[in-house]
Amino acid sequence: MTKGYSIEQNKLNQKITSKVLGKNLPISRKYSVEVGRNIKGINLKKARDLLKNSIEKKKAIRFTKYKKSAGHRLGGIIGRYPVNVCKSFDNLLNTLEKNAIDKGLDEKKLIIKYVFVAKAFKFTRRRKTSLNNHKRKNVSVSIIGEEKN
């Protein structure tokens, strides 16, 4: 396996796939898992529209695993509006689209095949008013898109 990805690279067709890896993103891991589940398996344009609607709080992201005390939203789904996570994922999808264009792939046919979210390095940040330090949690996200005919 290639370092940084948890999917075997020899099973991927390198000619029709595009990859992006975001390391040490200061976003919530639980929200990232839920956003990743929602965008996996759909078209790149639909995924970006979903993230844009969630940022504007028009459509909620469906929560399935980490849904404790999350209320029902418009449309009858249990979900939230994770704005910071959606902005980070939108930047990653923008990078994925640019990588696909550089490889010569058609970005209109690009489907998100694989999304992986993992804990990243915790940075220690000093508080000004307290003697105790605060560890900031970060997330690493890898997304692989594949061109479908």
pLDDT of 110-148, one tens digit each?
A: 999 999 999 988 877 776 776 677 777 899 999 999 999
* Residue 50 within any structural domain of the chain: yes
Identify the weakest region by mean pLDDT among 33-37, 67-71, 115-119, 140-144: 67-71
| Helix, strand, coil content of the chain in percent (nearest 5) | 35, 30, 40
More confident residue, 29 or 70: 29
Q: Which residue has the tokens 């075997």?
A: 8
Q: How many domains, in total, are found in the chain?
A: 1
Residues in the chain: 149
CATH number of the domain to which 85 belongs:
3.90.470.10
Sort strands 139-147 and 133-136 into parallel, antiparallel or unpaired: unpaired
Range of the domain at 135: 14-147
Roughly how many angstroms between the first and final C-alpha of the chain, as a whole number?
27
